[in-house]
């Protein structure tokens, strides 16, 4: 252990040490040039390096004591170790493997040396963090990742390399840059009060307890960017969950939109601060010259100096000449004088101190997207990420999705193709693609020109978009780290001017306009509650390298401008092409006038930078591949004004189902993003590959989307070419159990009925852990952890666009298509008891007597108001108590007996709830409902709107169809079971009809409105319980939700039809047997039913 490490740390970052490193480099290169063997290279390297390090830092021989020729016989090395490592340092922290002078210039020797070094690394992977391969002229770095070893490009040894190796040798107490260490230091936890917790709470307190004009303006613009509104009246259960989660982290109660958004803003600001500090330290050392402003300048400064340095970092439009690299627009608000105080200074100093403890090399070759994702997941609660549709994709899954689109696992072959991720998040798809390209590119030694040519291709062809400014920050940093492997060669490099990841809404409309002969793009940016700014810029201006930089400068200048003419003169000077002709100048004047007006009203912050990003998004060329994992946000969870804004486009693009009932209008925003992305950016022969919910294959909500019209009027559309189903893959997203698939679309026509769509069912092998699988970056390393089954999706029903999964081992495509046809009966949804804890009860048999009924609320998996479920029973009148029929209790031909009952405040054959004047006659029932009136009233506005009756306890999904002396009920999820429901003795009453609840839909009438008879009910029940109908529902719908608007052949019952009558008789017999020992009966039902279907087809033909 080296003493006085702090002194070494200070001196190692001085210009004097850099000069010494150059001297050491020269001596090593000169000595190695004269060497005759590998041993000579080892001796020359170590002798020159150690001599100067000892003299410069005043070290003794014992302070630097590497081990040479280390193998299985040495202490600390496993007995099975194969080979001998040339030089091992710092108690097995890292090692250097040497080769004969300039030997690594040979591609053959280089490949063998890489294999040897990786082998040493893997054999002792729990010990080593990094390694170096060197031949006295060339050098390469190796770093450990969760799923393997990364290595840099081979480069010529220079003074920076000597500096890095010196840091590894001398600063051996620095932390390894691993995901686990970062999470320990920066994750927000309830059990540990670290700098992140302190910062988040401090920022939230500032936002809620103080107010200043600029902070309020930034907060409002952030809300607009996220399509949030404090006037939003959404009542989704997801909202309540995320408020609870935010409150737990910040140790406070959050009960309204205002505080919820401030809490989320505080957490996002905390995360942005941590990421910027981490990135600032390591990226600055990666790409900035010695005399540039970088992290070491802020590690030990006073309060005012730190504030000024951070302001300087934020106000500079570039870092390392890269426009907007760490410009997050929204999250530097606390640097302002009105907010800054000593407490913030102390907390930020703590953050900076922790960051400074980490070593450098581990960051450069780390898997940064995974690190940033993990930290984000430990900062932003799962409930918040879920409601925002944020599910981070494992790297192996991202690579697999691109492989399927490309048709090859070597992406370097298509490096000239354009690829876009329109919802890129932390850039896992982009970096997975880039890393694959670079890995294949570096299979052989590449010179400087070759690497710069590839760098230019990647920057031109690999692009990302995201609505979340945090994601854009993560993505830009991750993107830079990925491409940095190409310019880690020590040469004078030409850094990218821009990282092609843009902040904006991929679903926002794009419009090309011609302004008096100048081709322009028109963009709209949201300001507040649906209000927008319209900007028109020439395409040539948008495509200039300094466009983002100039717009950033103008955006900051605007903050200090109050007069339109003054701002106009600055714009003219900065971007003169905006005044290319009189008409364009007028358009620009209108924009600047609007911006100054907004600024003077405190509403313009970041507007020009948002406009710049939006315009660059609009200017993206058509792409060969569009890939990604767009957010999975249901329509009802979108902010009201945003949902209204995009509704028109959904209608224009025919994405809705065309139906109006509940469940058929619950579109997911990812459908719009997929359609919009293809419409705006996909080439004619391009491919779109997205990860999206599996329900999009079957659910009625996506009737329009599945046609995938790019232009409805011309019939231009995309077709589903391939599906990969991950429902049984072990839930790779971990935080959500929602089933999902990979959807691959092209313009090549597909006959969905006759040819179908191939689908690969991916199933995790037994004993494999998905969390361990997710630690891998490459699909090939996890491929064998899954089993694969190739099946077919077909459109069995020509009257709907949903697909059915054909498994020939059960039923063929022809058999499925045989049963498709007209159903003479109309199924109805079960009654919605909201909230279920109030209305759905259980009889307490121990207390109930012939004269006194006692009930209690029972625990249910879906209970929202768990406090009501206390197990205490209470007395209630029998008058409005009915037997309750729920989905899980429906079996084939019978309903399981239970103690479940419901309060059903309706008279027979009256669709409206009884008035309060009538209900008070049942004193206990009325008082019970009145005591829970506030909970009953908290249901959604839609539920209240469709409830049947004026009383506060009215229920929805009640009609005259609810009242019949016989009906057929069936499950609408999991498994198709059907049973006949008839009145039975209940308590002290005769002939009481049970009430079917939600997820227990029923048929009581035909489509002409006629109530069904008991013989008719047995006939319908027989058909619904046949194996082919059960398979059809399983193959055609999500097992979580079957459609009740099905098109299967159930002709109107006819007593004169032998097949109808026989089915009715068999159904009755199965009902009388209570569903027991009915296998032979069911097989006979199926044979008769399939024969009936064939007869119907014969008559039609």
Encode pLDDT of 521-549 as tens digits: 998 887 766 678 889 999 999 988 888 88
3-state secondary structure (DSSP) of residue 257: helix
Identify whether the C-beta of residue 796 lies closer than 8 Å to the C-beta of residue 804: yes
3-state secondary structure (DSSP) of residue 636: helix
Element (H, E) at 301: none
1080: CB partners within 8 A, 6+ apart: none
pLDDT of residue 263: 93
Categorize the per-residue pLDDT at 660 as very low, low, confident or very high, splitting at 50, 70 and 90.
very low
CA distances from 270 to 188, 332, 472, 866 (A): 10, 10, 15, 33
Provide mean pLDDT across the span 457-463: 95
3-state secondary structure (DSSP) of residue 1011: strand
Distance CA(605)–CA(607), nearest Å, equals 5
pLDDT in tens, 127-143: 777 889 999 999 988 87
CA distances from 430 to 433, 611, 621 (A): 5, 24, 17
Categorize the per-residue pLDDT at 1075 as very low, low, confident or very high, splitting at 50, 70 and 90.
confident
Confidence check: pLDDT of 954 > 90:
yes
pLDDT in tens, 21-51: 999 999 999 999 999 999 999 999 988 998 8
pLDDT of residue 633: 78
Say which DSSP state 498 is in.
B
- Phi then psi for residue 683, to 5 deg, are -70, 165
Question: What's the CATH fold of domain 5-173?
Answer: tt1808, chain A (3.90.1570)
3-state secondary structure (DSSP) of residue 354: helix
pLDDT of residue 851: 87
Residue 510: count of CB within 10 angstroms of its CB: 18
Q: Which two tokens stand for residue 850?
A: 């012939």
Beta-strand ranges (E) seen in 135-275 are 138-145, 148-151, 155-156
pLDDT of residue 167: 83
2.60.120, 3.30.70, 1.10.357, 3.40.50: which CATH number matches 630-806? Answer: 3.40.50
Q: Which two tokens stand for residue 273?
A: 């601060």
Provide mean pLDDT across the span 372-383: 84
For helices 5-12 and 38-57, give the axis angle rounded to 10 degrees. Answer: 100
Phi-psi region of 870 (alpha: psi -120 to 50; beta: other; left: phi over 0): alpha
Confidence check: pLDDT of 2 > 60:
no
Confidence check: pLDDT of 1086 > 90:
yes
The mean pLDDT value of the chain amounts to 86
Identify whether the C-beta of residue 180 lies closer than 8 Å to the C-beta of residue 63: no
Q: Is the dihedral of CA 39, 44, 45, 50 positive or negative?
A: positive
pLDDT of residue 371: 77
Q: Which residues of 287-322 are buried (b: 16+ CB within 10 A; e: fewer)?
A: bbeeeeebbeebbeeeeeebbeebeebbeebbbbeb
Provide mean pLDDT across the span 375-387: 83
Provide mean pLDDT across the span 359-364: 57
pLDDT of residue 468: 86
Identify whether the C-beta of residue 914 lies closer than 8 Å to the C-beta of residue 931: no
3-state secondary structure (DSSP) of residue 17: helix
For the chain, how many residues are written? 1101
Categorize the per-residue pLDDT at 639 as very low, low, confident or very high, splitting at 50, 70 and 90.
low
Provide mean pLDDT across the span 713-718: 92
Distance CA(615)–CA(623), nearest Å, equals 17
Q: Which residues of 165-174 are buried (b: 16+ CB within 10 A; e: fewer)?
A: bbbbbbbbeb
Domain residue extents for the chain? 5-173, 180-392, 393-506, 511-618, 630-806, 827-1100
Distance CA(686)–CA(416), nearest Å, equals 14
- Phi then psi for residue 794, to 5 deg, are -130, 155
pLDDT of residue 232: 47
pLDDT in tens, 591-622: 999 999 888 887 777 888 889 888 999 889 99
CA distances from 1083 to 891, 893, 1032, 1063, 1069 (A): 17, 14, 16, 11, 14
Pairing, β 682-693 against β 623-628: parallel
pLDDT of residue 291: 40
pLDDT of residue 810: 84
Confidence check: pLDDT of 713 > 90:
no
Classify burial at 437, counting beta carbons within 10 Å of its beta carbon; exposed 0-12, middle 13-18, buried 19 or more.
buried
pLDDT in tens, 735-770: 788 899 999 999 999 999 999 999 999 999 999 999
């Amino acid at each position: 252990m080296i003493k006085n490490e702090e002194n070494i740390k200070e001196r190692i970052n001085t210009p004097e040490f850099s000069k010494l490193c150059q001297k050491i480099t020269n001596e090593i290169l000169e000595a190695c040039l004269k060497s005759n063997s590998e041993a000579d290279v080892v001796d020359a390297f170590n002798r020159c390096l150690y001599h100067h390090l000892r003299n410069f830092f005043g070290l003794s021989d014992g302070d630097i004591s590497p081990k040479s020729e280390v193998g299985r016989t040495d202490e600390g090395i496993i007995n099975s170790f194969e080979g001998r490592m040339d030089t091992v340092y710092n108690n097995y922290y890292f090692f250097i493997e040497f080769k004969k002078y300039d030997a690594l210039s040979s591609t053959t020797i280089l490949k063998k040396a890489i294999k040897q070094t990786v082998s040493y690394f893997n054999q002792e992977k729990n010990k080593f963090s990094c390694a170096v391969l060197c031949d006295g002229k060339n050098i390469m770095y190796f770093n450990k990742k969760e799923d393997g070893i990364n290595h840099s490009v081979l480069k010529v040894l220079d003074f920076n390399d000597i500096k890095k190796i010196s840091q590894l040798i001398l600063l051996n107490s620095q932390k390894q840059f691993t995901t686990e260490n970062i999470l320990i230091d920066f994750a927000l936890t309830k059990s540990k009060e670290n700098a992140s917790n302190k910062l988040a709470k401090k920022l939230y307190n500032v936002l809620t307890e103080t107010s200043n004009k600029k902070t309020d303006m930034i907060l409002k613009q952030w809300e607009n960017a996220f399509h949030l509104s404090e006037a939003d009246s959404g009542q989704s259960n997801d909202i309540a969950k995320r408020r609870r989660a935010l409150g737990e982290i910040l140790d406070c109660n959050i009960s309204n939109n205002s505080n919820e958004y401030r809490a989320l803003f505080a957490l996002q600001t905390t995360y942005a601060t941590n990421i910027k500090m981490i990135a600032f330290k390591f990226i600055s050392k990666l790409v900035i010259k010695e005399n540039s402003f970088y992290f070491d300048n802020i590690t030990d400064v006073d309060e005012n100096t730190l504030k000024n340095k951070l302001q300087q970092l934020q106000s500079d439009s570039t870092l390392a000449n890269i426009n907007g690299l760490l410009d997050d627009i929204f999250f530097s608000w606390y640097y302002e004088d009105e907010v800054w105080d000593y407490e913030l200074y102390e907390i930020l100093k703590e953050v900076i101190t922790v960051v400074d403890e980490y070593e450098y090399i581990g960051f450069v070759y780390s898997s940064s997207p995974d690190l940033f994702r993990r930290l984000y997941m430990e900062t932003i609660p799962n409930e918040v990420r879920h409601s925002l549709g944020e599910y981070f994709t494992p790297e192996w899954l991202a690579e697999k999705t691109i492989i399927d689109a490309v048709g090859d696992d070597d992406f370097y072959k298509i490096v000239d193709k354009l690829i876009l991720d329109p919802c890129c998040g932390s850039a896992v798809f982009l970096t997975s693609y880039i890393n694959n390209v670079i890995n294949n590119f570096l299979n052989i030694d590449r010179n400087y020109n070759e690497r710069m040519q590839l760098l230019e291709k990647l920057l031109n062809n690999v692009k990302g978009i995201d609505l979340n400014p945090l994601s854009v920050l993560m993505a830009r940093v991750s993107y830079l780290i990925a491409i940095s492997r190409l310019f880690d060669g020590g040469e004078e490099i030409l850094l990218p001017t821009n990282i092609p990841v843009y902040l904006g809404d991929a679903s926002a409309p794009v419009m090309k306009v011609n302004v008096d002969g100048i081709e322009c793009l028109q963009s709209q940016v949201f300001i507040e509650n649906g209000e927008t700014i319209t900007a028109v810029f020439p395409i040539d201006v948008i495509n200039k390298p300094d466009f983002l930089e100039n717009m950033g400068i103008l955006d900051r200048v605007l903050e200090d401008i109050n007069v339109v003419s003054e701002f106009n003169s600055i714009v003219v000077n900065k971007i003169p092409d905006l005044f290319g002709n009189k008409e364009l100048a007028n358009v620009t004047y209108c924009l600047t006038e609007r911006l100054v007006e907004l600024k003077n009203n405190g509403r313009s912050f970041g507007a020009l930078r948002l406009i710049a990003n939006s315009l660059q998004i609009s200017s993206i060329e058509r792409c060969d591949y569009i890939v990604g994992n767009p957010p999975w946000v249901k329509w009802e969870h979108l902010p009201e004004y945003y949902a209204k804004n995009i509704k028109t486009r959904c209608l224009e693009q025919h994405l809705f189902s065309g139906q109006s009932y509940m469940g058929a209008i619950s579109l997911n925003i990812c459908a719009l993003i997929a359609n919009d992305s293809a419409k705006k950016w996909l080439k004619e022969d391009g491919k779109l590959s997205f990860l999206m919910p599996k329900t999009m294959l079957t659910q009625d909500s996506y009737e329009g989307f599945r046609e995938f019209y790019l232009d409805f009027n011309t019939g231009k559309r995309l077709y589903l070419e391939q599906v990969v189903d991950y429902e049984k893959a072990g839930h790779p997203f971990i935080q959500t159990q929602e089933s999902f698939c990979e959807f691959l679309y092209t313009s090549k026509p597909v006959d969905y009925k006759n040819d179908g769509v191939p689908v690969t069912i991916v199933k995790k092998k037994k004993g494999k852990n998905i969390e361990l699988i997710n630690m891998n970056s490459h699909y090939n390393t996890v491929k064998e952890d899954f089993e694969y089954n190739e099946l077919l999706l077909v459109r069995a029903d020509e009257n709907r666009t949903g697909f059915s999964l054909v498994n020939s081992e059960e039923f063929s495509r022809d058999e499925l298509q045989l049963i498709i046809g007209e159903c003479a009966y109309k199924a109805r949804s079960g009654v919605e008891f909201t909230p279920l804890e109030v209305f759905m009860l259980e009889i307490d048999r121990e207390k109930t007597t012939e004269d006194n009924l006692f009930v209690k609320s029972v625990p249910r998996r879906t209970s929202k108001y768990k406090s009501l479920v206390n197990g205490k029973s209470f007395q209630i009148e029998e008058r409005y108590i009915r037997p309750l029929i729920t989905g899980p209790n429906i079996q084939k031909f019978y309903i399981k007996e239970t103690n479940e009952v419901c309060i059903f405040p309706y008279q027979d054959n009256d669709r409206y709830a009884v008035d309060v004047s009538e209900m008070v006659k049942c004193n206990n029932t009325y008082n019970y409902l009145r005591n829970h009136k506030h909970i009953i009233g908290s249901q959604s506005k839609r539920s209240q709107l469709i409830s049947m009756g004026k009383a506060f306890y009215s229920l929805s999904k009640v009609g005259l169809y609810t009242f019949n002396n016989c009906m057929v009920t069936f499950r609408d999820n999991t498994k198709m079971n059907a049973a006949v429901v008839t009145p039975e003795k209940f308590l002290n009453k005769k002939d009481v009809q049970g009430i079917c609840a939600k997820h227990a839909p029923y048929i009581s009438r035909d489509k002409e409105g006629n109530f069904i008879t008991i013989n008719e009910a047995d006939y319908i029940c027989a058909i619904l319980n046949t194996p082919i109908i059960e398979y059809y529902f399983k193959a055609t719908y999500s097992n979580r939700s079957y459609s009740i608007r099905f098109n299967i052949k159930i002709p109107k019952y006819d007593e004169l039809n032998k097949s109808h009558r026989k089915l009715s008789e068999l159904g009755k017999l199965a009902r009388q047997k209570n569903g027991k020992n009915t296998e032979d009966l069911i097989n006979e039902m199926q044979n008769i039913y399939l024969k009936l279907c064939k007869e119907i087809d014969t008559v039609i033909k």
